[in-house]
A = this chain, B = another copy of it.
Amino acid sequence: MDASPILKNVSRHIDLDTAEEQFFVSLLREKEFEKKAFVLREQEIGRDSIFVTRGCLRAYTIDHEGMEHVLQFAPPGWWIADMYSLISGKPGSLNIDAVEDATVLLLSREKQESLFARVPKFERFFRIITENSLVASRQRVLDNLSLSARERFADFCHQFPSLADCVPQKMIASYLGITPEFFSKIKSEYFRQKGPKSGP
């Protein structure tokens, strides 16, 4: 297991000595998922915080008309989870699957509690990354209320520069809350305005 990406992520907010690093890494399970494979299905209990080291995951729900609604994309270096299910221990409503072949590190809630007991500063780490996720989520609530689909797509490209090209268009449309047809229109307008991506 290559733990360096997750240790780098942790070191952004807390300092660990070698013994603490080793204990943390000993609690992680590495797992690979092929494109389209499920990491978690709705109605299952999500027991893990998931850190992506390769590929890309997405979390989404399916409404009663069968429409998918994308809550989150997680490229390398991002955490993803069904937080409701994780903290309540109840079945969740999220599906999490692999947009591309992916490698992840899993930290179960149970192991996370052992981590807090032995290395309490991880409470700080998870407090800070949860605060950051909350800021992003609230900004998305406000953007959905106040910005046009064009503005939301521009923000998406800014936030996820690597995803606009590799994630299927219909998934990005679903994340933005618009139809694939309308998405296709605003995407071509956006790139026409920005000009060609590479010069001659």
Interface stretch (choices A21-29, A96-104, A121-129, A190-198): A121-129
Q: Which residues of B contact A139 (CB under 8 A)?
A: 84
Q: Binary interface profile of A, 52-94, with partner B (CB < 8 Å = 1, else 0)?
A: 0000000001010001010110000000000110010000010
Q: Is A116 an interface residue (CB 8 A)?
A: yes
The number of times this chain is found in the oligomer is: 2
Q: Nearest-CB distance from A167 to chain B (Å)? A: 17
Name the B residues within 8 Å of A147 (CB-CB).
63
Closest residue to A144 on the B side, CB-wise? B144
Flag the segment in A1-9, A31-39, A130-138 that touches B: A130-138
The reply to whether B84 and A135 form a contact with Cβ atoms under 8 Å apart is yes
Q: Is the CB of B135 within 8 A of A138?
A: no
Please, how many angstroms separate the alpha-carbon atoms of A67 and B148 in the complex?
Answer: 13
Minimum CB distance partner of A88 in chain B: B135
Known pairs A61-B146, A69-B145, A141-B140; A130 contacts B123 (CB<8 A): no
| B-contacting residues, A131-165, CB 8 Å | 131-135, 137-142, 144-147
Distance to closest chain B CB from A145 (angstroms): 4
Question: Which B residues lie within 8 Å of A177 (CB)?
Answer: 144-145
The number of residues on chain A lying at the interface, defined by a beta carbon within 8 Å of a beta carbon of chain B, is 35
Complex CA–CA separation, A144 to B147 (angstroms): 14
Across the interface, which residues of B come within 8 angstroms of A142, CB to CB? 61, 69, 71, 93
Q: Does A134 lie within 8 Å of B69, measured CB to CB?
A: no
Residue of B nearest to A146 (CB): B63
Min Cβ gap A142→B in Å is: 6
- Min CB distance, A94 to chain B, in Å? 9
Min CB–CB distance A62 → chain B (angstroms): 9
Q: Given A146-B67, A146-B69, are A127 and B123 also a contact pair (CB < 8 Å)? A: yes
- Residues in chain B near residue A61, CB distance under 8 A: 142, 146
